[in-house]
């Protein structure tokens, strides 16, 4: 009698799949890249004074739902209200009517219009 050779699993996993296995996570489609869910921002995470490393942008987010800012080279200071929308804080400027999203990059750092802001 002739027997066939044993079946060998030759699945190749990328680094993201290996990390997912190590972390005990998989997605519904099987192994592979697991999309990261955006972090939800809470008021407590963003309330306070923020500034860019070069000091050209400053932002004060207040507990009463308002904000005030300062941008180097801009005569009129931005100010208005904000709302938290999932993974962003949306600033609404009273004077111009413009809305600007601000996102939490990682713990302790915000991103606004290409500027990284750190707590003061």
pLDDT tens digit sequence for 18-55: 444 444 444 444 444 444 434 455 666 788 999 999 99
Half-sphere exposure of 104 (CA within 13 A, CB side): 20
Which architecture characterizes domain 43-119 according to CATH? Beta Barrel (2.40)
User: E strands within 1-120?
Assistant: 48-52, 57-61, 66-71, 79-85, 88-93, 99-106, 109-112, 115-119
Please list, in sequence order, all residues whose beta carbon lies within 8 angstroms of the beta carbon of residue 88, skipping any fewer than 6 positions away: 41, 101, 102, 103
Better-predicted residue by pLDDT, 3 or 27: 3
Single pTM value for the model: 0.63
By the 10 Å C-beta count (0-12 exposed, 13-18 middle, 19+ buried), 92 is classed as middle
Q: What confidence score (pLDDT) does residue 92 get? A: 94
Residue ranges of the chain assigned to CATH 2.40.128.290: 43-119
């Amino acid at each position: 009698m002739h027997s066939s050779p044993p079946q060998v699993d030759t699945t190749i996993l990328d680094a993201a799949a290996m990390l997912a296995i190590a972390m005990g996570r998989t997605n519904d489609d099987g192994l592979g890249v697991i999309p990261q869910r955006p972090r939800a921002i809470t008021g407590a995470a963003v309330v306070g004074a923020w500034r860019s490393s070069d000091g050209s942008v400053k932002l004060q987010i207040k507990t009463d739902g308002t904000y005030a800012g300062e941008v180097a080279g801009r005569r009129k200071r931005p100010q208005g209200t904000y709302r938290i929308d999932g993974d962003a804080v949306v600033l609404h400027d009273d004077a111009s009517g413009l809305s600007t999203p601000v996102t939490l990059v990682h713990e302790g750092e915000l991103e606004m219009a290409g500027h990284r802001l750190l707590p003061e």
